Amino acid sequence: MTEINIAARFSRNAETYPTQAALICTDVSRPARQYSYRYLDDTSTAIAKGLRKAGLNKGDRVVLMVLPGLDFFALAFALFKLGAVLVGIDPGMGLRNLGRCLAEAQPVAFIGNRKAHLARRLLRWASLSLRLHITTETIPFQGDILNLARLLEWGIATRATLAIATHADDMAAILFTSGSTGAPKGVVYSHGNFTAQVAALQQTFDIQPGEVDLATFPLFALYAPVMGMTSVIPAMDFTRPGSVDPRQIHHAISMCKPTSMFGSPALLNRVGKWGVANNIILPSLRRVLSAGAPVAPAVLERFVKLLAPGAQVHTPYGATEALPVSSIGSNEVLNETGKLTAQGRGICVGQGVDGIEIRIIPITDEPIAAWRDELAQPPNEIGEIVVRGPQVTCSYYNREESTRLTKIAAGNHGCYHRMGDLGYLDERGRLWFCGRKSQRVDTVLGTLYTIPCEGVFNTHPRVSRTALVGVPADRGCLPVLCVEPEASVRKSEYPAIRSELLNLGGKHEHTTAIKHILFHKDFPVDVRHNAKINRERLALWAQRKLR
């Protein structure tokens, strides 16, 4: 059986590009900190040896709660080298969800900074399973907490080699979903999944060794050195990308000249507005990737103005369970598909990446045990999106019912993952996104899909974004449009805007039934990307407003 491990690929890059920068941390208030491939590889190997001396073994689950930077990179690669299972939890998901996820993962070790250990102690996170505690910072009254510096000393002192083999089916990580449309679930990643994901990203976006990547999402930041790139980490709160200081992003780009950048739609919106207002140009960027939620054409158009001619913003579609699935560039959106989105056709998320199989199946909330070819819907028929490929994960950790509801066995060919998203394939094989399955609005007149309806109303120049929700009624649901106006809009303007929106909706058959419009100044959004609208919370708000 072939050995597979993305840390091994990183180590090979370290042999090829030993002096190239693997990681650069920037901040407008201090000089940049730079670490070479050789230094990061040697440091992660020493940590892996130290972790083994401390009692960690292949397959042990380890929580990593460290801010992006040298320690985060070195520890993540150390865990992969050791064959341990990285447990990744977004700290922005809230204390209750954090505790539930940690208990579910049953980790044996917890690696974190001072703040993370304080929370662990006070809230007794995973107290029944943890047997090893490691800190990246000095903590008063450490007790049984082992310091990372001591691990490094142990690893450097030992002459033993790491001879741990991992294979495609071995578990590499448990990465929790954000919980924006339900309870967070731990997605089981194998070493094969990670390797396929990296290969798909590199091929889809023509990423070449020697490039520089500005990553504002920690997991994507890890992939850059695996692909032979330099990863640039700007100073920011990674749990609040929508509140980023645009000057920090501009500083990192000006200093490090990245050729590639990843940012959530909320980050692109904030940086784009600032950049246009200040006549900023970012000539080094050849490509920008944005994922986590649909990116409005207006956001794309604004950000493209900051780029050199020929550079595009690409919006790959996928989820924690399967990424990338498809992708589309800003040229195609701004010149063709964006116009169709405004007419209520949904959002085009492009052609499937090489090696991925995309099918559309009838909408049902029931489990599907095994794949049948007759499930596949014809072009232009809206249904649930299901995908299969080497980057598609096939289970959740300790969530058998969630696995049963979202996975479809495909015999000897792995599984299909039910994305929980609705959409359709057009005649050219392009995938169109129509919203979350759980957020569809079933009315007495038929089912309304969020994205096709909102696309019509989002064309209003005084509207920032809209969200269609359903409020329980005598029969079915009452469709209600929640409207987040532009910041400059005054309340006195609401009646006129409401009238104009009703007029817009009346021009399209699928939006004529939407008669109730409520204004909300600040939509609730997901904690990970600050861009995915929490329609469940908005629906409860709308229900209270309409009483």
At 63-89, the pLDDT tens digits run 999 999 999 999 999 999 999 999 998
pTM, entire model: 0.95
Measured between alpha carbons, how far is 379 from 344 in angstroms, rounded to an integer?
Answer: 17
Which pLDDT score, from 0 to 100, does residue 276 have? 97
What fold characterizes domain 440-545? GMP Synthetase; Chain A, domain 3 (3.30.300)
What's the mean pLDDT when you consider all of the chain? Answer: 95
Residue type, 479: P
Tell me the CATH architecture of domain 205-315.
Answer: 3-Layer(aba) Sandwich (3.40)
Does residue 162 contact residue 82 with C-beta atoms inside 8 Å?
A: yes
Measured between alpha carbons, how far is 119 from 527 in angstroms, rounded to an integer?
Answer: 19
Strand pairing class (463-472; 477-485): antiparallel
Which pLDDT score, from 0 to 100, does residue 547 have? 81
Q: Which CATH class is domain 6-167?
A: alpha beta
Which string of DSSP letters, residue by residue, matches 285-333? Answer: -SEEE--SS---HHHHHHHHTTBPTT-EEE--EEETTEEEEEE-BHHHI
Which pLDDT score, from 0 to 100, does residue 266 have? 92
Query: Could you tell me the sign of the dihedral formed by the alpha carbons of 348, 315, 195, 310, in that order?
Result: positive
- Interval 240-297: pLDDT, tens: 999 999 999 999 999 999 999 999 999 999 999 999 999 999 999 999 999 988 898 9
Measured between alpha carbons, how far is 161 from 159 in angstroms, rounded to an integer?
Answer: 6
Which pLDDT score, from 0 to 100, does residue 90 have? 81
Measured between alpha carbons, how far is 236 from 249 in angstroms, rounded to an integer?
Answer: 9
| Beta strand spans in 364-413 (E) | 383-388, 407-409
Nearest to 514 by CA among 547, 471, 544, 460: 471
Query: Could you tell me the sign of the dihedral formed by the alpha carbons of 458, 462, 466, 471, in that order?
Result: negative
As beta bridge partners, residue 232 has 24, 214
Confidence band for 484, pLDDT divided at 50, 70 and 90: very high
Measured between alpha carbons, how far is 257 from 260 in angstroms, rounded to an integer?
Answer: 9
Q: Name the segment(s) of the chain with CATH classification 3.40.50.980.
A: 6-167, 205-315
Residue 1 pLDDT > 70, yes or no?
A: no
Helix axes 265-277, 297-304, angle to 10 degrees: 50
Confidence band for 228, pLDDT divided at 50, 70 and 90: very high
- Cα-Cα end-to-end distance for the chain: 63
- Interval 109-136: pLDDT, tens: 999 999 999 999 999 999 999 999 999 9
Residue 91 pLDDT > 80, yes or no?
A: no
Which pLDDT score, from 0 to 100, does residue 141 have? 67
Q: How many residues does the chain have?
A: 547
Strand pairing class (21-27; 30-36): antiparallel
Residue 352 pLDDT > 70, yes or no?
A: yes
C-alpha angle 383-387-391 in degrees, rounded to nearest 5:
155
Measured between alpha carbons, how far is 242 from 255 in angstroms, rounded to an integer?
Answer: 22
Measured between alpha carbons, how far is 62 from 75 in angstroms, rounded to an integer?
Answer: 10
Residue 412: exposure state from Cβ atoms within 10 A (0-12, 13-18, ≥19): exposed
Confidence band for 169, pLDDT divided at 50, 70 and 90: very high
Residue 320 pLDDT > 70, yes or no?
A: yes
Q: Name the segment(s) of the chain with CATH classification 3.30.300.30.
A: 440-545
Mean pLDDT on 503-532: 92
Measured between alpha carbons, how far is 524 from 526 in angstroms, rounded to an integer?
Answer: 7
Confidence band for 34, pLDDT divided at 50, 70 and 90: very high
Residue 380 pLDDT > 70, yes or no?
A: yes
Give kind and range of the element (H or E) at residue 30.
Answer: strand 30-36
Does residue 175 contact residue 76 with C-beta atoms inside 8 Å?
A: no
Nearest to 25 by CA among 246, 268, 216, 202: 216
Question: In this structure, what token pair is assigned to residue 299?
Answer: 């956001």
Which pLDDT score, from 0 to 100, does residue 97 have? 86
- Cα 332 to chain center, whole Å? 23
- Interval 420-454: pLDDT, tens: 999 999 999 999 999 999 999 999 989 999 999 99
SS3 173: strand
